Amino acid sequence: MSKTNPGNFFEDFSMGQVIEHATPRTVSRGDVAVYQAVFGPRFAVQSSGQFAEAIGYRQAPIDDLLTFHIVFGKTVPDISLNAIANLGYADCRFLRAVYPGDTLKSVSEVIGLRENSNGKSGVVYVRSSGTNQAGETVLDYVRWVMVRKRDQAAEVGDSVVPDLPNSVPVEVLGAALPKLDLAAYDFTLAGAAHRWGDYKAGEKIDHVDGVTVEEAEHQMATRLYQNTAKAHFNAHAMKEGQFGARLIYGGHVISMARALSFNGLANAFHIAAINGGRHVAPCFAGDTIYAWSEVLAAEPLPGRDDVGGLRLRTIATKDLPCADFPDKLDEKAYADGVLLDLDYWALIPR
Amino acid sequence: MSKTNPGNFFEDFSMGQVIEHATPRTVSRGDVAVYQAVFGPRFAVQSSGQFAEAIGYRQAPIDDLLTFHIVFGKTVPDISLNAIANLGYADCRFLRAVYPGDTLKSVSEVIGLRENSNGKSGVVYVRSSGTNQAGETVLDYVRWVMVRKRDQAAEVGDSVVPDLPNSVPVEVLGAALPKLDLAAYDFTLAGAAHRWGDYKAGEKIDHVDGVTVEEAEHQMATRLYQNTAKAHFNAHAMKEGQFGARLIYGGHVISMARALSFNGLANAFHIAAINGGRHVAPCFAGDTIYAWSEVLAAEPLPGRDDVGGLRLRTIATKDLPCADFPDKLDEKAYADGVLLDLDYWALIPR
Amino acid sequence: MSKTNPGNFFEDFSMGQVIEHATPRTVSRGDVAVYQAVFGPRFAVQSSGQFAEAIGYRQAPIDDLLTFHIVFGKTVPDISLNAIANLGYADCRFLRAVYPGDTLKSVSEVIGLRENSNGKSGVVYVRSSGTNQAGETVLDYVRWVMVRKRDQAAEVGDSVVPDLPNSVPVEVLGAALPKLDLAAYDFTLAGAAHRWGDYKAGEKIDHVDGVTVEEAEHQMATRLYQNTAKAHFNAHAMKEGQFGARLIYGGHVISMARALSFNGLANAFHIAAINGGRHVAPCFAGDTIYAWSEVLAAEPLPGRDDVGGLRLRTIATKDLPCADFPDKLDEKAYADGVLLDLDYWALIPR
């Protein structure tokens, strides 16, 4: 029997199945530096240990999305090696700050399975979580992917589609954020004066800047997370595919849009939850990513007077500046050039 | 009002204005590794903790130019976002060694303003300094940039042009350098036998090697410094510009020339001051950078017998080997292919 | 006399000559992160401090090949700056784990010299070793390179060709590996169930995945090692060469093939020795690297019941998937597309 991992096919998954993923990974300031070099984030809390410690962290935490990518990357060889498409995310909550020196691992539970009517594939729903070396959960999220069947004739069980929330309720946000000493939060050093109360539902912010992505950059970032999806790395095989080129990991666009969003959201330094996300179109090397955000809601956090929640939609585009806020056209279609529609909660000082 | 940073225009600056820049940044060995990967420096003091500690440092300091780029990068969103050209540097002094773990921030004071006769722009002179977490100044320099006016009709004050030194006097050099234990300085491990006394004014050194710069490399380095100048990152917008391509950050050429200068200046491990610099021509991805240096002066440092100063001009070129020392042709013009003319003080064991 | 390093020519070497190489280098987690970003290794021991410590290391060791490249890189300016070809390796043994914080330096001894009959060049055999800050040898290997003569007329000594082993004997393997606590070795987290006893001589494993190499990636990795060979960095000069392009450092292909070999050899986490290696064809940016391995032998290690040795041949190809195991055709020729034929010992839990 082959010793190489063929990945799981649709009929290999079963309801309630728990998969512990390889490879555990100790995060370091080296990872933070590579992430910095690829995306250029400027949020003060993650950039400065002194700033983070002053407001209540024990040191500068790593970027929330770096945690997400590392936890996600580990699930790829078991969950999505034979995926046709990554369909969605839901109920993604950041539960604990991650610091350099922490060791992360990931586990997934199959919570839904639905065969497609063509009998060739099916949708697998997994709840994945990342834990640190103390066994504490740092991140928990649901994703669903369309996975090929190995054998079309294989019998599969009844369809189970999990009930997923449209958004993470504000009541559960903030677990990863220490109580902030706001008196020590220096808004000048953080880059902007805007606090929670300055943002209103309906407000739209053009993040202005655009950044071009290079093959070496997205490959280096995606390997940093030990994500092995061949679509991102193998130009020889992808040449024969639908697009004729390597596809950039969707999370790369998320991280770039997040870094760009500093310009307008400088104090919204922590992502507390991702309500959902859609990769509207593929991104390729050479594309220039722009982004804009809409404030969907500004909600207080029960029991906390230090920070409030901003529910944001961040839209990323390619080769399309966002002064006119290119958006969804209807339930299904988006304006040309839109890459990403991400719905999430960020926390920001009050 | 927009929450995004439009940058300052010429009429927004006022004499004596002090601007505290975002984002503070804790430097790490991760940053050192990325810098190493992009430029390949080989100076022993910055490369080996053991070497540095033996001669009197408390650990390996970070590369002086990495300090420069980080301090400089923070000033970009406030000073040069609307710049037409970066015109010059003066009186740049490295005042304290920077170690991994130090947190850097930057502040600038406007020390000169001169409107251009066309009424469309003006020159802004700032003295910028970088400080560490203890509030100690690690770097201090003047630069001047040509900045657009937002409104041509805006009234501006009288011209003030600061009096700037042509070079940093040798008397003030060396603050960032501990007293060296020269007995512990291993010239073999450092890569060359040449000491201060081996260099003479007028000597020219071809650094021989050439290195080609890639888009991903300069983007990663420049983002590492949190420099946000759009010219370096946005291929989509730059396609419409004068050059049709992303411009490489001038500091990238400085760092590459410095790394190349190891071949001939292996023991000149510390840049104590930059007297001035000129970016003669733009650099683009695909260019191969070569460099040569001329010794302008070799001066003892008052009160120090461990090191001496070499005042150097390092010329960087593109696609042009430097065996013939391509140079300035007259006061204004340079030989084709010259990118950079940098005048600085390096310190070297006696 | 020039202060730049012209490198040594064939007639500059003498039997028994010992060359201490510049530049010492303190390895950091930053280097590990850059290496991770470029190659994407997934072996649990090097990836997770918690995993490594559980089985007996004092922390996660750095990748064996990162040690190799750093030690090797230092030898380039003295040994192979004027090399025509890197001909081979032998008797390469990893003798001690290297951890972040260790400072490495390299020394070489000339153990063989043989002038070519054309009088223009000769073969130089050196035994190079890397030591840490405590003076302990971490790596020791022989390589031989063909080096140009500066002066065809120069007199050279008698030919001496050292007697080199075809392979490192199993008896000397394992010095760099602490006694493992196998009860603490988590095969699920490590990514595969296969132990030493599951591999048999003659077994072939297709590592399946392919990864495309970019210019920025190989340049950044090779500079990380302070390897200065101009063939890897200077597009301007190489345009005029035989291939018209930068040649990728052969060690880059080794590291990529090793990272790919995780898929099939997940528990073979330590390279104990390299018996020999051949760079069959040059590799260029844009090439997609695939790999397969053959188990040459599975041998117990005298005195150790925790791990066994697998003697492996790993073949790397370009733009050629390895399901059909493309191989040597006869003593001299290889199938089209083969880049590398590497013979080494890996250790794996029993």
Question: Mean pLDDT over all residues of chain C?
Answer: 96
* CB contact (8 A) between residue B48 and residue C30: no
Distance from CA of C95 to the nearest CA of B (A): 21
Q: What contacts A25, CB < 8 A, 6 or more positions away? A: A70, A74, A103, A104, A105, A226, C47, C48
Q: Report the sign of the C-alpha dihedral through residues C269, C273, C279, C280, in that order.
A: negative
Cα–Cα distance measured from residue B256 to residue B287, given in angstroms and rounded to the nearest whole number? 12
Whether the ω angle into residue B23 lies within 30 degrees of 0, i.e. cis, is yes
A260, A262, A263, A266 alpha-carbon torsion, rounded to 10°: 180
Instruction: Work out the pLDDT band at A1, boundaries 50, 70, 90.
Output: low
List residues bridging with A278 in a β-sheet.
A341
Give the DSSP letter string of A131-144: E-TTS-EEEEEEEE
pLDDT of B1 > 70? The answer is no
CATH of B184-350, one of 3.30.360.10, 3.40.50.150, 3.40.50.300, 3.10.129.10: 3.10.129.10
Instruction: Work out the pLDDT band at C2, boundaries 50, 70, 90.
Output: confident
Question: Mean pLDDT over all residues of chain A?
Answer: 96
Cα–Cα distance measured from residue C258 to residue B311, given in angstroms and rounded to the nearest whole number? 47
What is the per-residue pLDDT for B86?
A: 87
Place of tokens 């890189």: C73
What is the per-residue pLDDT for A331?
A: 87
Q: What is the pTM of this model?
A: 0.98
pLDDT digits (tens, 9 = 90+) for C31-64: 999 999 999 999 999 999 999 999 999 999 999 9
Distance from CA of B233 to the nearest CA of A (A): 5
Percent of the residues in chain A that have a pLDDT greater than 90, as a whole number: 94
Percent of the residues in chain C that have a pLDDT greater than 70, as a whole number: 100
Helix or strand run (H / E) with residue A69:
helix A64-75
pLDDT of A302 > 80? The answer is yes
In chain C, DSSP finds a helix count (H) and a strand count (E) of 9, 11
pLDDT digits (tens, 9 = 90+) for A80-136: 988 888 889 999 999 999 999 999 999 999 999 999 999 999 999 999 999 999 999
Coil, strand or helix: which one is B329? coil
Distance from CA of A45 to the nearest CA of B (A): 9
Chain C residues lying within 8 Å of B217, measured CB to CB: 216, 219-220
pLDDT digits (tens, 9 = 90+) for B324-345: 999 999 988 999 999 999 999 9
List the CATH code of the domain at A194-350.
3.10.129.10
How many residue contacts between B and C have a Cβ separation below 8 Å?
136
Instruction: Work out the pLDDT band at A39, boundaries 50, 70, 90.
Output: very high
Q: Does A213 touch chain B (CB under 8 A)?
A: no
In chain A, where the domains are located: 194-350
* CB contact (8 A) between residue C212 and residue A220: no
Q: Report the sign of the C-alpha dihedral through residues A282, A284, A288, A291, in that order.
A: positive
Q: What contacts A98, CB < 8 A, 6 or more positions away? A: A27, A61, A62, A66, A67, A104, A132, A138
Which candidate in A69, A236, A247, A284 is best for mutational testing of the C interface (most C CBs within 10 A)?
Answer: A236
The whole-number average pLDDT for the span C205-209 is: 97
List residues bridging with C115 in a β-sheet.
C122
The whole-number average pLDDT for the span A245-253 is: 97
Instruction: Work out the pLDDT band at C331, boundaries 50, 70, 90.
Output: confident
Option in C33, C48, C264 nearest A3 (CB): C264
Q: Does C4 touch chain B (CB under 8 A)?
A: yes
* CB contact (8 A) between residue B216 and residue C214: yes
pLDDT of C82 > 90? The answer is no
What is the per-residue pLDDT for A82?
A: 86
Distance from CA of A214 to the nearest CA of B (A): 6
What is the per-residue pLDDT for A182?
A: 96
pLDDT digits (tens, 9 = 90+) for B78-118: 999 988 888 899 999 999 999 999 999 999 999 999 999 99
The reply to whether B184-350 shares the fold of B1-27+62-164 is yes
Distance from CA of C67 to the nearest CA of A (A): 17
Give the DSSP letter string of A238-298: HTTSSSSSPPPPHHHHHHHHHHHTHHHHTT--EEEEEEEEEE-S---TTPEEEEEEEEEEE
Helices A64-75, A29-39: axis angle to 10 degrees equals: 100
Option in C48, C210, C264 nearest A24 (CB): C48
Whether the CB-CB separation of C275 and C344 falls below 8 Å is answered with yes
Q: Does A295 touch chain B (CB under 8 A)?
A: no
What is the per-residue pLDDT for A18?
A: 98
What is the per-residue pLDDT for A91?
A: 98
pLDDT of C1 > 70? The answer is no
The interface predicted TM-score (ipTM) is 0.97
Helix or strand run (H / E) with residue A344:
strand A338-349
What is the CATH class of B1-27+62-164?
alpha beta
The whole-number average pLDDT for the span C292-316 is: 98
Which candidate in A28, A29, A195 is best for mutational testing of the B interface (most B CBs within 10 A)?
Answer: A29
* CB contact (8 A) between residue B37 and residue C3: no
Instruction: Work out the pLDDT band at C193, boundaries 50, 70, 90.
Output: very high
Per the model's pLDDT, the better-predicted residue between A1 and B264 turns out to be: B264
**Least confident span in B64-73, C48-57, C151-160, C252-261:** C151-160
Whether the CB-CB separation of C45 and C51 falls below 8 Å is answered with yes
pLDDT digits (tens, 9 = 90+) for A148-202: 999 999 999 999 999 999 999 999 999 999 999 999 999 999 999 999 999 999 9
